A and B are shown apart, each in its own frame.
Chain A
Amino acid sequence: MEHVIIVALILGGTTLLSLPLGAWMKLAMDPSSGRMSRWTGLFARIGGTAEEQGWKGYLVTMLTFNAIMFTVVFLILALQHYLPLNPDGMGAHDPTLVFNTAASFTTNTNLQHYSGEASMSYLSQLAGLMWLQFVSAATGIAALAALARGIAGRPSLGNFMVDVQRASLLVLLPLAVVVAVLMVLGGMPMTLQGSAVATTLEGVTQTIARGPVAAFLTIKQLGTNGGGFFGPNATHPLENPTFWTNGLAMIAIMLIPMACVWMFGGILGRMKHAAVIFSVMTVFILVKITGSVVFESAPTPAFAELPVSTDAGNLEGKELRFGATGGPLWAVLTTSTSNGSVGAMHDSLNPLTGLMPMAGMWLNATFGGVGVGMINMFLYIVVAVFVAGMMVGRTPEYLGHRIEAKEVRLAILALFSHAFLILGGTALFAATSLGQSTVQDPGAHGFSEILYEFTSAAANNGSGFEGLGDGTAAWNIATGIVMLIGRFLPIILPLAIIGSLMAKRRAAESAGTLGVEDATFGTMLGLTVVVFGALTFLPAAALGPLAEHFSLP
C-alpha cells in the first residue's frame, strides 16, 4: 500500500505539474507571433543571429555549438589544477578520462568514470559540468522544438541559437532556481567551503566533502543529466538528505521529460495526440515500476542461508531514509528518462530488478531524456504509423506526412544504431579481456555489468552497475564514442526525416486516415516499442539478468 501511494503521488503529481509546464514550454520555445518578442529579440542580439533555418542549417549550428561545449569543458577539466575555485587542491586527470567526461556531459549522459568529491575542483563541477547540464539539456529541448515545427508544417525549423537560449534561460533556469531553493530548504548543502574535518565521537578523523551541491544537483535532475556531485550520486546523504528531497528529486527527474510531450503536442496543435503518447509512456513506466518494486521486495539472495531478517527486502546499496519504495522507484524513473542519477546502487539490485532499468534504457523513449526522449518516440511513431498505416489500407501517413522508403530507412537506421552500439560494444568487451578483466561479480552478473555500461552509454543515461572497473582507458574511449554516436545520430536522423517530410506535399486527413489520437493507435505504438525496442535485447537479457535470476539457488 505504501508503494502504491508513493508511486501514485510521484507520478500523478508530476503529471499534473507537467501540464502547465508543458504549456509554458510551448509558449517559451515556440511563441506565436508577437508574444515573447522581447525575449526573442534579446536572444537574437546575444547570438547575433535569428535567421530562420532549414533542417540542415539548424543541425549544423547545433553540432557547432555542441562542439564548442565539448571543447570548452575539455579544456576546463584538463587544466583544472591550474584554475581557481579548487579549495581541496584536486590534481590533473587522465586524458582519456577528460575525453570521456567531456563527451559524457556534452551528450547529456553524465556517465561518470570519476568520483566528483575526490577528483573534481569546484570550477570543474560548476563552470564545466553544471554548465553542460544546462546547455546539453537545452540542446535536447531545442531539437524537439525544431522537430515539432517541422511536423507542424512550418516553413522553417526556427533558429538554434535562439532556441537553445530560450530553453536554457526561460525553461531550465527558472525551474532550477525554484527547485534549488526547495532543495536548500530541504537541508541540501550549498557552500564553496572545502571539506570539513571532523573528529568523531570515537576520536577518529573524518573528512567530510561538501560543496555547492544544491545548485548542481537540481539541474542534474531537471535536465535528465544525472551526473552526481558526489561519486555515489543521490544515495549520498549530502546530495539527498531526506525522504522529502528524494521525492522532490524524483519529481524533478520526470518533470521536463513529461512536459516535453505536452510541448510537442502544443507546437503541433495536437494535444490529444500528445495525450496518447503520454499514456503509452506512462503504461511502460508503470510496468517497469511494478516489476522493480515487486522484485526488489525479495530479500538479498546472498543471505538465503543466513539468519538475516527478510521482511525489509534487499537493502544492499540502499538508504533507509528513502523508505522501501525509494530505491526501486528511482531506479526505474532515472533510467526511463535518460537521467542516470541513482538513488540506490543498481549493481546490487536483485537480478530481475536490474532488468527494469536496462529495459528502460533499451526503449529509451518512455519519456526519455529532455527533448530527445520524445524524439526517440517519434522514431517509433514513424515505424508504428508505417505498419499500422498499411493495415488500414492507405499509404502510411503521420499527421498528413506520407511515410515512405526514405523516412522508414532513416528511422530504422536510428533504431538499428541503438541496438548495434549496445550489443556490438557488449560483445567486444564481453568476449575479450577489455571487459572481462574489469567485471566485479561472478557469473551472469558480470556480463550484466558490461551490458549495462554500454546500454547506459548508448542511451545517454549515465547510471551504471558501478562494480565495473570502468576507469580504464578502453572503457573511457569506447563509452565516450558510444555516447557521442548515441547522442547525435538519434538527433540527426529524425531531423533528416523532417527535412524529407517538409519537401513533400502534405496529405489531408479523413476518416480513412489512420488516427493518431485514440487508444488503438496507442496500442499499436506500444507494441512497436516492444517489438523494435525490446525484442532485439531479449537474448542479451537472457544471458544477463534472467540467467542470474534463474541460477539463484
Chain B
Amino acid sequence: MNDIISGLRVAAATMAICVAGYTTVILTFAQVVTPATANGSLISRQDGSVIGSRLIAQAFTSPEYVWPRPSAVGYDAGGAGGSNLSSANPQLADRAEALIEAHGGVSRADPIPADLVTASGAGLDPHVSVEGAMFQAGRVAQARGVEPAAITAIIDRLAERPGGFLTDEQIVNVLELNLALDAELSVQAVAD
C-alpha cells in the first residue's frame, strides 16, 4: 500500500517535470528560436496559403516538373509509410517496370537511377538523387521548351551533399527544384 501511494506521488512528480516542464521548455525554445522549422518547415505562397513543407515530398506527375521518388502511401503526409515489401518481392519489380515506363523507358546500357523506382521509408522523401533529377532533365526541358542545359544548370546549383564531405552521393530537394524551375523558366504551352 505504501508502495502505491509513493508510486503515485513519484508518477505525478515525473509527469509534471518530464512531461509538462520538459515539453514547455523545448516548445518555448523552438517557437522563439526556430519558429519556421518548428512548425514544419512550411513553404507558403504570397497569399499565405501553404504550398507544402520543404521536408515533405509531394506528388508531381506533370512532365514539366521533376518527379519525386515513388510513395507507397501516395504522398499522404497524414499517414506516412513505406512499402515494406521484401527486397525480393516481385511487386517491387512490377512497380519499377511501371515507373520505368512512365519515365519513358530505358535501356540496359543506360539504366534508371535506383532511387526513382524505390519508395522511401515514409513515402515522403523530399529528395531525389542528382542522377535521378538529371535523368528527368530531358523531359522537363522538352515540356518547358528549353534546352536541357538550362534544367541541369538549376539542378547543379541546388545539388547538395547531405552530409557534406562525409557523403559522396549528391541529392536535390524536389519541391525546391520545382519552385526554382517555375520561378526561372516559364512553362511553354505544348502544342498538341
Contacts and interface: CB of A to CB of B under 8 A. Distances in A.
Contacts of A190: 26-27, 29-31, 38
B51 A199 contact: yes
Interface string B43-69: 000000111110111111110010001
Contacts of A320: 69, 115, 120, 125, 127-129, 162, 169, 171
Given A196-B42, A319-B121, A299 B114 contact: yes
A312 B50 contact: no
Given A309-B111, A320-B128, A345 B5 contact: no
B85 interface: yes
B186 interface: no
Contact of A201 (B19, B25, B58, B171): B58
Interface stretch (B76-84, B139-147, B148-156): B76-84
A410 B23 CA distance: 41
Interface string B102-132: 0000111011111101111111111111010
Max count, chain A CB within 10 A of own CB: residue among B3, B9, B50: B3
Given A187-B37, A201-B178, A202-B65, A441 B86 contact: yes
Contacts of B56: 206, 208, 237-238
A274 B152 CA distance: 55
A37 interface: no
A190 B33 CA distance: 11
Contact of B53 (A208, A243, A349): A208
Nearest to A321: B162
Nearest to A138: B14
A165 B79 contact: no
Given A191-B39, A232-B80, A202 B89 contact: no
A309 B34 contact: no
Given A184-B34, A317-B119, A237 B126 contact: yes
Interface stretch (A61-69, A356-364, A428-436): A61-69
A312 B127 contact: no
Contacts of B9: 46-48
Interface string B5-34: 111111101110111001101110111011
A291 interface: no
A303 B93 contact: yes
A442 interface: yes
Contacts of A242: 162
B192 interface: no
Contact of A198 (B17, B50, B123, B169): B50
Given A191-B38, A198-B42, A442-B89, A342 B121 contact: yes
B120 A202 contact: no
A383 interface: no
Nearest to A299: B114
A2 B168 contact: yes
Contacts of B184: none
A180 interface: yes
A191 B75 CA distance: 22
A212 interface: yes
A347 B85 contact: yes
Nearest to B17: A169
Given A191-B30, A201-B60, A235-B121, A65 B114 contact: no
A230 B33 CA distance: 24
A161 B55 contact: no
A207 B33 contact: no
Nearest to A216: B23
B26 A180 contact: yes
B84 A238 contact: no
B14 A168 contact: yes
Contact of A184 (B33, B85, B178): B33
B86 A445 contact: yes
Nearest to B50: A198
A197 interface: yes
Contact of B86 (A169, A180, A202, A548): A548
Contacts of B17: 168-169, 173
B19 A319 contact: no
Nearest to A168: B14
Contacts of B59: 200, 202, 204
A168 to B, nearest CB: 5
B26 A177 contact: yes
Nearest to A439: B86
Contact of B77 (A168, A206, A243): A206
Contacts of B82: 232, 235, 316-317, 345, 347-348, 466
Contacts of A184: 26, 29-30, 33-34, 37-38
17 contacts: A131-B14, A131-B19, A169-B17, A193-B39, A208-B53, A208-B78, A232-B122, A236-B124, A237-B56, A241-B41, A300-B92, A303-B93, A309-B131, A320-B127, A342-B121, A347-B84, A348-B82
Given A64-B3, A168-B17, A302-B89, 8 more contacts: A49-B6, A69-B11, A115-B79, A130-B18, A208-B50, A231-B79, A315-B115, A317-B84
Interface of B: 2-11, 13-15, 17-19, 22-23, 25-27, 29-31, 33-34, 37-42, 49-53, 55-62, 65, 69, 75-93, 96-97, 100, 106-108, 110-115, 117-129, 131, 162-164, 166-169, 171, 175, 178-179, 182
Interface of A: 2, 5-6, 9, 46-49, 60-61, 64-65, 68-69, 72, 115, 117-118, 126-127, 130-131, 134-135, 138, 161, 164-165, 168-169, 172-173, 176-177, 180-181, 184-185, 187-193, 195-202, 204, 206-210, 212, 214-215, 219, 230-233, 235-238, 241-244, 247, 299-303, 305-324, 342-345, 347-351, 440-442, 445, 448, 465-467, 548, 552
List 4 A-B pairs, minimum CB-CB distance, nearest first: A235-B121, A467-B84, A190-B30, A302-B92
